Structure 1
């Protein structure tokens, strides 16, 4: 019912949105003599603000057709190299000629960046991907919005996620490197352990976890406390809704992205109010830089996707309530996931000192849980003065975190028994 009401509210606002668009055009028109008056700028800003907060935000583009490496432009081609109804494995192939002009080696370690499946699209990691492209052949797990997947495609749960990570690593080839940002930490660690126990030739050469709830019992945040305080039945009764017609996933039970978005925004309600007030004032002043920065952030932040009922509820249970992985109780395909089987996969953990989503200690717990990884293949790093988002994006990520991750991957590439050098040819 909630999903249907949400769609009804959006549809009902359509006439007002159209009116706001007309007003915006009228007050911005150079033919309108009042457009540069205080009244005109205020009217335009009001219409623009209303339209921006009520519009439907679709999946953003990656926008990585050209990146800069060592001051030189390098073209990339977005290639979907493998897919299922639930994910697209996207490779950003760098142009060979451009790499040579930038004096960069064509062969580079393959890196799979596993984006979080927690409400936002993989494009939230645009800055992460662009930075890793400086020195790597980058693949991204681009998860699909559950409301676009027909019910006939079946279910997708926590264990399907583990299997998808394995299949993506198999598509890339032996001994790639995997980077898990936030939510994917537990299933990626489980996938690596299963592959190690089976001596799978496609097991990763290294794994890097950034702000991941490997053991959510440590340094619990508000998010962790909510998951623990509410009974499991509460999440099933209050957080799961049915996709309405006319979406392709009509009838599928999901955790809607807009519910997650409202939860995220309520955690920093005043900050978002202030941001929109500043946006309004910048529109009135004609501050193009301020407006552009606001638009870039919120165009991404307000674009959300739905999660399947089974994946969301199993994540609540396995990761945040029962803590099965750190307790050694997680089973996959009828077998216990044995983290001690991980012996030749490098491990790096990155945490933010001010992370209010995954508290300090939750990610580095992976080091305790994998006792048989040699010490020379480990890196534990806590970045001062950053929150959750700063762990994988922004200036400190580019200047302080990424160089450490780059060096860690390079060291494990050399230690890897089967070198994985793939030509990054567009």
Structure 2
């Protein structure tokens, strides 16, 4: 019932914001002639944008600036299932000869399925495009997925990542995972290694709960202090009509956004304060940049309840990765079997979502790697969101990733294997779209 009440309130807010904005621009309205009417209208339009919840946000990266030149960017959906789209971004100046590309490394960015849409990593994609072809896991909003398309568990995240790695030329592939995605990404590569399949050249894990026992944060303490039944009773709701996913059990976006605002109000208010300050100074370009970041932060999605509850139990309650007890569809996840994928872990000193040592714990688990293939970076004074946006990302995190991908570069990067048959999944249908 709470979901329906929220939808009624949101619809009323949208109508109110829209009508109020119109009142200040309609020439037949008396409000249109008061001083500052255009500014009031703009304010209501901004509120309208926030009230939509970023339901279908886009990356919107038409080009990048490289060596002082504007380079067009081509975005494609190259693989799709009901639960995820694999997006491919390429700066189109890459030299080609026949069907062979210049040696441009490919990076698979595993976006977290923890509330925010993948556009939260827009700046990551823009930066990586300077030297890489970029693939991004763009997870679907569960309220738009019909119940007939089946369930989605944490195991399914892992199998999706495995499929993406197989579909991209792994000889030159680098995998980068952020926050919640670090666990299934490491699990996917470990399972490939255990089956003697080829694994990516490198794996970068950024601010993730590989071992949530270390320096537990408020999120970890909440998860460990309540039972799974408590989470199911209090945080799981049924998608109402008229959404395509009506009847599906989800952790709704509004629950997550309110939780983020309560637990971590600083990022939200800092973005809004930056927007207002730059707008007051008359710097429209920078103000728009801050506004886009605010929209990205507010763009949240409904998570399938099964995946959400699996993550709480597996990662924050039973610590299955750390204890070596995690199994994905009956196969043990053994990070120690990884022997040919270099490992880089990056943490922020002030990260209050994934505490100190939680990400670096991957080095203890990946015992099959030599010390020369392991790197770890701890960034002083860095919070969680600084790890993938803003000056800290650009000056500290991104250079470390580039150093890694350059060192482990391989030829023929980023070329999708042509006409491969897609492996069937037992829980979700998938198909290739573009090759």
Q: TM-score, structure 1 length as denominator?
A: 0.88
Distance in 2, matches of 1:274 and 1:64, equals: 24
2:93 pairs, out of 66, 83, 96, with 96
Q: 1:83 to 1:182 in 2, by over 3 A?
A: same
SS for the counterpart of 1:25 is: coil
Shift of 1:292: 2.4
Distance in 2, matches of 1:256 and 1:390, equals: 25
Q: 1:77 to 1:402 in 2, by over 3 A?
A: same
2:130 pairs, out of 128, 134, 144, with 134
Q: 1:368-413: per-residue Cα shift (whole Å, max 9, x none)?
A: 0111101111110011221111112222222222122111122223
**Residue number in structure 1 paired with 2:350:** 354
1:106 pairs, out of 102, 109, 114, with 102
**Conserved 8 A contact 1:107-1:423:** no
Q: Does 1:76 align with 2:68?
A: no
Matches for 1:19-98 after TM superposition, within 5 Å: 19-25=19-25, 34-36=34-36, 40=37, 43-44=40-41, 47-48=44-45, 50-96=47-93
**Residue number in structure 2 paired with 1:408:** 404
Q: 1:279 to 1:129 in 2, by over 3 A?
A: closer
Shift of 1:248: 0.8
**Residue number in structure 1 paired with 2:209:** 213
Distance in 1, matches of 2:2 and 2:165, equals: 38
Q: 1:365 to 1:13 in 2, by over 3 A?
A: same
Distance in 2, matches of 1:169 and 1:14, equals: 41
1:311 pairs, out of 297, 307, 320, with 307
Shift of 1:45: 6.7
Q: TM-score, structure 2 length as denominator?
A: 0.87
**Residue number in structure 2 paired with 1:258:** 254
**Residue number in structure 2 paired with 1:182:** 179
Matches for 1:332-347 after TM superposition, within 5 Å: 332-347=328-343
Distance in 2, matches of 1:280 and 1:206, equals: 41
- Runs (4 or more) in structure 1 with deviation over 6 Å come to 280-287
Q: 1:409 to 1:189 in 2, by over 3 A?
A: same
Pairwise CA RMSD of aligned residues?
2.7
SS for the counterpart of 1:96 is: coil
Matches for 1:232-251 after TM superposition, within 5 Å: 232-251=228-247
Shift of 1:281: 7.8
Q: Unpaired segments of 5 or more residues in structure 1?
A: none
**Residue number in structure 1 paired with 2:421:** none
Q: Does 1:388 align with 2:377?
A: no
**Conserved 8 A contact 2:208-2:359:** yes
Q: 1:149 to 1:15 in 2, by over 3 A?
A: closer
Q: Does 1:167 align with 2:160?
A: no
Shift of 1:21: 1.5
Shift of 1:59: 2.4
Q: 1:133 to 1:280 in 2, by over 3 A?
A: closer
Q: Does 1:9 align with 2:9?
A: yes
Between 319-328 and 287-296, the greater mean CA deviation after superposition: 287-296
Shift of 1:49: 6.0
**Residue number in structure 1 paired with 2:413:** 421
**Residue number in structure 2 paired with 1:292:** 288
Distance in 1, matches of 2:220 and 2:406, equals: 34
**Conserved 8 A contact 1:45-1:280:** no
Between 281-290 and 297-306, the greater mean CA deviation after superposition: 281-290
**Residue number in structure 1 paired with 2:427:** none
Q: 1:233-252: per-residue Cα shift (whole Å, max 9, x none)?
A: 11010110011111111110
Distance in 1, matches of 2:351 and 2:73, equals: 32
Q: 1:365 to 1:273 in 2, by over 3 A?
A: closer
Q: 1:7-52: per-residue Cα shift (whole Å, max 9, x none)?
A: 111123344223312234259x9x955434xxx5775576456545
Q: 1:111 to 1:272 in 2, by over 3 A?
A: closer
Shift of 1:61: 1.8
**Conserved 8 A contact 1:109-1:413:** yes
Shift of 1:96: 3.0
Q: 1:200 to 1:291 in 2, by over 3 A?
A: same
Q: Unpaired segments of 5 or more residues in structure 2?
A: 417-434
